[in-house]
Amino acid sequence: MSTEVHRCQVLVIGSGPGGSVTAWTLAAKGKDVLLVEEGPNLPLGSCPPFSIEELRQKYRSGGMNPALGKPTIPFVEARCAGGGSEINSGMYHRIPIEVLGVWRKKFQAQHLEMEHLLPHFEACESALCVQLNPGKPPGAATKMRTGADAMGWKSKEIPRWFKYEKEPLDSKDHSGRRQSMTETLIPRAMAFGCRFMTSVRAEQLRPKNKHWELKAERAGVPISIFADAVFLCCGALQSPALLRRSGIRKNIGNSLALHPTIKVVAFFPDEINAGCADVAPQQVTEFAPRVCMGCSISTLPYISLAMSSHRKAKPDACRDWRRAAIYYAMIMGPNTGTVRNVPFAKDPLVRYSLGKNHFELLGTSLRDLCRLLFAAGATELYPGIAGCSPLKTEGDLRHIPPILPPDSTDLMTIHLFSSCVMGEARDICAVDSFGKVHGHQNLFVNDASLLCTAPGVNPQGSIMAIARRNALHFANGL
C-alpha cells in the first residue's frame, strides 16, 4: 500500500483547546499550518450532551479509562475534533496568581506573570464569548450559593464559553450554545488557510534533514507528514505517549498531575432538578485553589451512578431524583503520576498515587461540603464512600473518616495535566518556558501537558492563554 505524503510549514497534532488556539494563531500570522486530529469530525449537535451517544462518539474508550493506583481513579478523555471543548461544560477560569508564583519559583518558568498572560486571556475570552449566564440560575446552583452564604464562605458563578440568545425564550431562561473549538477557532483557522485532517492517528515523530516527519495512519492507509516545526497538542496523556514512542523520554510522562474529586448526592425537600443535561456553574472559592467545590451533572443516570456505593441504603432514585443533585469536592493532586506505553496497546498505561495527607484533605473537604449542603437545607446526603451510612444530620458527619480509606473511596477526575512540564529547571522540566522540548529544535508541546502543577481550577482557560502566548513567540521568531 502506497504512503500518502503531505508537507507543511507547521504541523499541529491535536485539535483540542491547545491545538485549536495554536493553529488559529499561527494561521492568522500567515504560516502554512496543517492541523491533524485522531478522532472524527462531528458537529457539536451530533448527539445530546452528556449522553450515552456522546460517550460512544466523542470519548476515548467510551469514557472508560483508569489511572491505576489505590484507589484506581477513573478519568475521561475526548477523542474527536475539538477535543475536550466538545464534551465539557465550558467553564472558564484564569489561572490563580499564587499558582503562577509556584511555577516561576519551583520550575523556573519565565514570563508567566499575570501581566504577560492577560492579553492572551482577553483574546481567547473575546473569541469564545466567555460570559455569565444572563438567565435564572438552576436549582442546584441556588442551593450551593445558599449554603455558602449560610457558612460565610465565598462563592461565585463561573463564566462559560457560551453564546446566549439576546432575549429569553420564556420568562426565565436564556438559551445558549457552547462555543467549542469546532464552533469557533477551528473554522477561523481554516479561514486563514489552515488545512484540517481528522481520523489521523499519529504513531511516531522523527527528525529528518532538519525537518520533522510524522508517521501516521488513517483508515489503514500509512501517512507521512513532513514539517518544519511540530506542535504536540494531544493532551496530557497522548502527547507524552507520542514523544516516548518517538524515543524522546527525558522528563516525559514522569510527573502527571490531576484533580482528585469526590462526589455527594444531596436530596432536598423541594424539587431542584429540571432534568437538564448541564452543569450548574456555581462554585465555592473559600478554600481555592487548594480545594474547589461545585455542582456536577445531575440527570437520573448520573445520580444512579453516583449512588452506586449505597446500593442497600439508597432511596428510590427513579421516584425522588427531581429532589436531588450531585456536588463535588476537588483538590489539587500531586505530580505523582506516570504515562507509559505498553507493547501492542494503542493507549498508554496511566498510574497515579495519593499520599495520606491527600486522603486527609479529601476527608476535610468532603465534610465541609456536607456541612454546606445541610446549611442549604439538604435532608439526606450520600457521599462517595462504600459502606458509609447515609447522612441525615450534621452529627452524622462522624461517619466520614478523618482520613478517607483508599480501598473504599470513590474518586474520579476530568482534569489531567503536567506530564511534560515547562520551565528552565532542566532536571525536572521537559520543555522550556515557551513549550520547546529541551534538546530538540522546532518541536513543541502546547497543551495541558506543560502546566507545571494542578492549577486548582478548570485548566482550559490557562491552556489556551499559554498556547496563544507560545504560538506568538514562535511566529515572531523570538
- Catalytic sites, residue numbers: 415
Contact indicator for 60, 77 with CB cutoff of 8 Å: yes
For residue 135, give every residue at least 6 positions away whose Cβ sits within 8 Å of its Cβ, in sequence order, or none.
164, 168, 172, 173, 174
CB 172, CB 158: distance < 8 Å: no
d(CA 34, CA 200): 12
Cis amide linkage into residue 66, ω under 30° from 0: no
Q: From start to end of 165-310, where are the E strands?
A: 176-178, 195-197, 201-208, 211-218, 221-232, 257-258, 261-267, 282-284, 291-295
Task: Determine whether 304 is exposed, middle or buried from the number of CB atoms within 10 Å of its CB (0-12, 13-18, 19+).
Answer: middle
Chain centroid to CA 279: 14
Contacting residues for 111 by C-beta, under 8 A, at least 6 apart: 433, 434, 469
Q: Identify whether the C-beta of residue 335 lies closer than 8 Å to the C-beta of residue 251.
A: no
211 bridge partner residues: 208
Helix ranges (DSSP H) in 181-316: 185-191, 238-245, 300-306
**420 alpha-carbon distance from chain centroid:** 16
Alpha carbons within 13 A on the beta-carbon side of 271: 6
Residue type, 331: I
How far is residue 233's CA from residue 210's CA, in Å, rounded to a whole number?
21
Q: Which amino acid is at 471?
A: A
